[in-house]
């Protein structure tokens, strides 16, 4: 299915979850204080329900949830392709949102065998794994591709602020961007959770049928093990972070063929794995 979406039921508008809300605050500047209105990001429990079985609850920003549903399913290895997702419905709930996904029977049987019960949080991507063995999801090493010009990373960084609408409004979200070889941002997703922002972007790329060798992912956060795992699962060869990677992320990137770059600021960056993926 090329253009699936997770729409809200047309007749159910009792519970709505906007991406931001207004809050009354006391703003202090030096010795002056005044009551003001601030725009704050919303953080909503989002339950992913596969074939009527609840699998994971993420704390997420309630925007681009169709991208989140598909991106999470692909990057977590629940689905092998976007065509295995048959339907998706967004069901509002007083305490959050349910994303009800209908997936291929074979993939659902495999999901049940994994017996994962994630309790997603904005700062943790591996909560709920049943054993240490479950951490190592087999990923085929990526083939060598055309390197990314370092100048493209610099251009993408320069364009990033103009695309971060929710960050400008609230100052409380992460972003994940898809950048072409010329250094231009082609897509960006935002969320309170950095893993969620990445899943939203990956879901969008999958829905568009994006050729993964034609660009790279830039994240406005540190690079964790699971973020490397997610991009590798979708065949993306280069992940760039504005902050540091973890040692575990570097080891996984080295094993899977991902060029992992951190501390990308202006004309500076540090390449931690497969430096042949960056050309000067």
Mean pLDDT confidence for 95-121 = 81
Which domains does the chain carry?
148-279 (3.40.140.10)
Q: What is the pLDDT of residues 158-177, one digit of tens each?
A: 999 999 999 999 999 999 99
Q: What angle do CA 140, 142, 144 make, to 5 degrees?
A: 150
Alpha carbons 156 and 162: distance in angstroms, whole number? 11
Phi, psi for 52 (deg, rounded to 5)? 75, 5
| The pLDDT value given to residue 108 | 95
Q: Decide if pLDDT at 15 tops 70.
A: no
Of all residues in the chain, the percent with pLDDT exceeding 70 is 88
Per-chain mean pLDDT for the chain: 89
Active site residues: 124
Q: Decide if pLDDT at 66 tops 70.
A: yes
Query: Which one, of 262, 274, 257, lies nearest residue 220 by Cα?
Result: 262
Give the pTM: 0.90
Q: What is the pLDDT of residues 195-247, one digit of tens each?
A: 999 999 999 999 999 999 999 999 999 999 999 999 999 999 999 999 999 99
Q: Decide if pLDDT at 31 tops 50.
A: yes
Q: What angle do CA 209, 192, 258 make, to 5 degrees?
A: 45
Q: Which residue did the predictor score with more confidence, 100 or 133?
A: 100
Mean pLDDT confidence for 26-51 = 94
Alpha carbons 274 and 257: distance in angstroms, whole number? 7
Q: Which residue did the predictor score with more confidence, 280 or 278?
A: 278
Alpha carbons 43 and 7: distance in angstroms, whole number? 19
Those residues with Cβ within 8 angstroms of residue 129's Cβ, 6 or more apart along the chain or in another chain: 116, 135
């Amino acid at each position: 299915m090329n253009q699936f979406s997770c729409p809200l039921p047309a007749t159910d508008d009792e519970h709505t979850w906007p991406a931001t809300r207004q809050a009354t605050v006391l703003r202090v500047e030096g010795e002056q204080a005044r009551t003001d209105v601030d725009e704050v990001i919303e953080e909503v429990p989002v339950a992913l329900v596969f074939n009527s079985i609840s699998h994971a609850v993420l704390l997420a920003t309630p925007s681009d949830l169709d991208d989140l549903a598909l991106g999470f399913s692909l990057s977590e290895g629940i689905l092998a392709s976007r065509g295995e997702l048959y339907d998706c419905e967004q069901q509002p709930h007083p305490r959050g949102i349910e994303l009800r996904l209908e997936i291929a029977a074979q993939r659902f049987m495999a999901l049940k065998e994994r017996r994962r019960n994630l309790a997603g949080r904005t700062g943790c991507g591996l909560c709920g794994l049943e054993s240490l063995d479950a951490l190592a999801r087999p990923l085929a090493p990526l083939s060598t591709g055309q390197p990314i010009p370092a100048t493209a990373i610099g251009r993408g960084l320069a364009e990033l602020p103009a695309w971060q609408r929710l960050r400008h409004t609230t100052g409380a979200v992460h972003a994940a961007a898809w950048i072409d070889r010329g250094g231009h941002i082609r897509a960006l997703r935002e969320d309170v959770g950095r893993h969620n922002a990445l899943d939203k972007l990956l879901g969008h790329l999958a829905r568009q049928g994006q050729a993964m060798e034609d660009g790279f992912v830039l994240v406005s956060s540190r690079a964790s093990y699971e973020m490397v795992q997610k991009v590798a699962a979708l065949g993306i060869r280069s992940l760039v972070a504005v902050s540091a990677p973890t040692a575990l992320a570097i080891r996984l990137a080295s094993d899977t063929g991902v060029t992992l770059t951190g501390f990308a600021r202006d004309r500076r960056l540090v390449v931690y794995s497969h430096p042949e993926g960056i050309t000067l």
